[in-house]
Structure 1
Amino acid sequence: MNAVTHGTVDAAGMTRAEVMQLTPEEQFDLFGERYERVQELMTGAQLQISDGEWRWLAEAFVPTAGVFGLNPPPGADFENSYFLESTRSIRMPGAAGAREDLDPMIAYFESQNWDTTVSSRGSDFVVRAETGDGYQVSYTVQSNGQYNLNVYSYVFWGDSNTLLDTVVGRIPNDTSDSPTLTVPGGFVPFPKWSDPVIPDE
């Protein structure tokens, strides 16, 4: 571990040295808390738009290497850090990517006192919010009628490969196969450390 990663804090304000002192179970539990925060943010934002079914595009129970995350701390690489991401999409009657379709989400973000920005990307419009506790929520309205809701964490120190094994290894195969559609609040339950590790078939 070099001096840069040793003292640089992650999205939770922890240094890599501090995280390395945690047991595998403690790192597992921290990941679970962060996973539940992503689901909380996703559900709250979904309900501003529709309580109907949303299509799953990405699910947060799989840690992604921190090097690909939002503003990774210096020294983050494929193994020593991770972030979480969850993405859902919806198509509603008559939706065509109008700028005003962002308004309910803008109002919600501002009601939470989150730092909010609106931008355009070609013919699409995006509103992003920084939650202030290590997460970003974005809502994109597209001219093709598909509206996407994304929740990302910023980057946390932690052994992404070990977490992948300890988390996904405890989720039954029939559960980890994400459903195609769910209403807000639908997500894969996070396992307990006491759950058995399921052997590969």
Structure 2
Amino acid sequence: MGYNGVDQNFAVKGYLGANITMLVSAGIGFGKDGQVNSLQQAEFLRDFIGGNLPTDLRIGASPGFRREFNNSKVALTRITAAYDKPNWKLGANVRFERAFATGRDGVDVISSLGVHHKISNQFFGGIEAVGQDLEGFWETDEAEGGARLLIGPSLNYSPVSSRLAFTLCGGPIIYATRSSSTTVAFPVRELPTTNGFTMKFNVGFKF
């Protein structure tokens, strides 16, 4: 659990003023030999267009840092865009990662895109796409085995007068490219390398 299997993650997000978002997260990995490891990540997103409004266009960027399960250190930069209206929610981001460990890629490129449309009340449905290790399209020796893609349905429900929100998405994993390289232990990735299907379930609580 936690390594290319059933992953869990606890995250806290909040605004610092009108244009800066803080996002910190942590996870625990349980190895087959009984060893327990953890990861931590922190990002600070600056909105250059828009801010913490309920409906608007937002474009921003963030620096960040992560310590992975195997104690590898990773610097990251994320570029984000979102457009929210009462009946539509669109979001996209591209993340560039630089791992300070031997055997890793010079730069890892990870991207995601989601579109939701209001079905009824606070129930939204749409499509989510994830592109992982996209540098595999131009690097034949990509360290994590090649580029992988996911495109699948996504559902979001935020009950009226409730602080809770629920999101469910999943779909088949497309192995777009393959390389002969094998990764170092436990890089943090949304799409696993050992099966052809993945599912993600999120529960959010708004303070």
What interval of TM-score do these two structures reach, taking the shorter chain for normalisation?
A: under 0.3
What TM-score does the superposition give when structure 1 sets the normalisation length? 0.27
TM-score after normalising by structure 2: 0.26
- Relative to its length, the structure with more strand (as a share) is 2
Richer in helix (by share): 1
Pick 1 or 2: higher relative contact order, CA cutoff 8 A, min separation 6. 1
